[in-house]
């Protein structure tokens, strides 16, 4: 039974996230290992309503600030050479990556 590696990525900037995902997919395809993904997971929306101060006597006005968290999952057949190349990928500061070895 071949083991697999599950790579979870998440970020607030979808362009940087897709850039890192495309680099990982290119490495896996060039090496010819089995890959499934990237699977886009539902985007988490964090909305924060803030009461804006009014000038004088007026109605309450709220501003809404929103942050979106985009997630992707990639499964790759475990290959030492491919994993070394993936570990060398430059990951921007606001992209988070988690690598898990599965059976």
Q: Are 35 and 25 in contact (CB under 8 A)?
A: yes
Q: What are the chain's domains?
A: 4-102 (3.30.70.600)
pTM summary value: 0.81
pLDDT tens digits, the chain, 103 residues: what are they?
578 999 999 999 999 999 999 999 999 999 999 999 899 999 999 999 988 877 767 777 888 999 999 999 999 998 889 999 999 999 999 999 999 998 7
What is the pLDDT at residue 30? 92
Residue 3 has a pLDDT of 86
């Amino acid at each position: 039974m071949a083991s697999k590696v599950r790579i979870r990525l998440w970020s607030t900037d979808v362009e940087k996230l897709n850039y890192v995902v495309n680099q990982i997919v290119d490495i896996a395809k060039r090496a010819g290992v089995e890959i499934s993904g990237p699977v886009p997971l539902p985007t988490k929306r964090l909305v924060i309503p803030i009461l804006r101060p009014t000038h004088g006597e007026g109605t309450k006005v709220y501003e809404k600030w929103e942050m979106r968290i985009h997630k992707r999952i990639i499964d790759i057949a475990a290959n030492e050479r491919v994993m070394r190349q993936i570990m060398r990928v430059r990951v921007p500061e606001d992209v988070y990556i988690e690598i898990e070895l599965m059976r």
